[in-house]
């Protein structure tokens, strides 16, 4: 086993989640409800793809098996991905997209804030840079949840309907595992229990301002992005995202 196994797994989780969420946001290109929102969605998506590149570059270096970040992004099979289940869910309407973005951002911000103080200098550097971008992401998505939740009767109805569609997938944001715990003890990753508490507090704060009920904590079920057990949506997403690399492997411009 690679001596850096835990760190590689963690880097893949971070990189895969950012990559898949970025891909989902870019699906809004040409479909957003307003030009300004299309630009904003694309910018957030590109931020996340750039962050994914940094995490996957580091993972590829530690793997040292000849694969690079592009190979990890575009030529792995579905079961090899370690992204959060939440980010692979379909966009739905604008309320679903912004609810999903907020739930992810609220978790992502806490993780990056903790990682910016990591004992691994490479991790700390990547996280510190990404944290500046995600601070904006979280402010924007949180404001949209409040705007829709505490807006018109129709916007409130749509946002309230979006939460149950997504909530069960948040279990991975409040339930750490052995990999995260070992990395925490090694001073590389933040305490998963602290991340969970901070995430829950932020979600409760924004939902209260948006006049949205806070669901009971999600519980574990048979799927797990950490173990490569994904929903049916990831395979379809990857089929589109990976088509060019799969059809023309190792092609160059």
pLDDT at 72: 97
Express each pLDDT in 51-107 by its tens digit: 999 999 999 999 999 999 999 999 999 999 999 999 999 999 999 999 999 999 999
**Is the four-CA dihedral 223, 224, 230, 234 of positive or negative sign?**
positive
Given a cut of 90, whether residue 8 has pLDDT beyond it is: yes
CATH number of 5-247: 1.20.1260.10
Chain-centre distance of CA 68, in angstroms? Answer: 21
CA distance 75 to 65: 14
Residue 253 or 195, more confident: 195
User: Minimum mean pLDDT among 44-58, 95-109, 235-249: which range?
Assistant: 235-249
| Boundaries of every domain in the chain | 5-247
pLDDT band at 251 (very low <50, low <70, confident <90, very high): confident
- At what angle are helices 121-149 and 153-167 packed, to 10 degrees? 140
DSSP assignment of 142-179, as one string? HHHHHHHHTS-HHHHHHHHHHHHHHHGGGGGGS---HH
**Is the four-CA dihedral 90, 56, 170, 39 of positive or negative sign?**
negative
pLDDT at 245: 87
Mean pLDDT across 203-213? 98
CA distance 21 to 250: 25
Mean pLDDT across 29-39? 87
Q: In this structure, what token pair is assigned to residue 171? A: 């279990």
**Helices and strands counted in the chain (H then E):** 10, 0
Express each pLDDT in 146-169 by its tens digit: 999 999 999 999 999 999 999 999
CA distance 211 to 75: 43
Q: List all residues 6 or more positions away from 224 whose beta carbon is below 8 Å from its beta carbon.
A: 85, 172
pLDDT at 32: 81
Given a cut of 80, whether residue 252 has pLDDT beyond it is: no
Residue 121: Cβ-neighbour burial (10 angstroms; 0-12, 13-18, 19+)? exposed
User: Minimum mean pLDDT among 12-21, 44-53, 100-109, 220-229: which range?
Assistant: 220-229
Query: Average pLDDT, whole number, for the chain?
Result: 95
Give this prediction's pTM. 0.96
Residue 35 or 253, more confident: 35
């Amino acid at each position: 086993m690679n001596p850096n196994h835990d760190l590689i797994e963690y880097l893949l989780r971070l990189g895969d989640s950012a990559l898949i969420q970025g891909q989902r946001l870019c699906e809004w290109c040409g479909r957003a409800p307003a030009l300004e929102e299309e630009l904003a969605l694309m910018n957030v998506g590109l931020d996340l793809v750039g962050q994914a590149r940094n995490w996957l570059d580091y993972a590829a270096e530690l793997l040292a098996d000849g694969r690079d970040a592009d190979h990890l992004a575009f030529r792995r099979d579905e079961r090899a991905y370690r992204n959060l289940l939440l980010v692979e869910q379909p966009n739905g309407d604008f309320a679903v997209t912004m609810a999903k973005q907020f739930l992810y951002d609220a978790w992502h911000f806490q993780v990056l804030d903790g990682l910016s103080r990591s004992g691994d200098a490479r991790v700390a550097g990547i996280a510190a840079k990404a944290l500046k971008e995600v601070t904006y992401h979280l402010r924007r998505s949180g404001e949209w949840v409040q705007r829709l939740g505490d807006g018109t009767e129709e916007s409130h109805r749509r946002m309230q309907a979006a939460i149950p569609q997504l909530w069960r997938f948040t279990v991975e944001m409040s339930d750490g595992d052995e990999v995260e715990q070992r990395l925490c003890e090694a001073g590389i990753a933040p305490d998963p229990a602290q991340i969970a508490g901070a995430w829950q507090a932020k979600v409760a704060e924004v939902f209260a301002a948006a006049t949205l009920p806070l669901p009971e904590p999600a519980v574990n079920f048979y799927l797990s992005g950490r173990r490569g057990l994904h929903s049916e949506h990831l395979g379809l997403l990857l089929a589109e995202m990976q088509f060019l690399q799969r059809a023309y492997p190792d092609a160059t411009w």
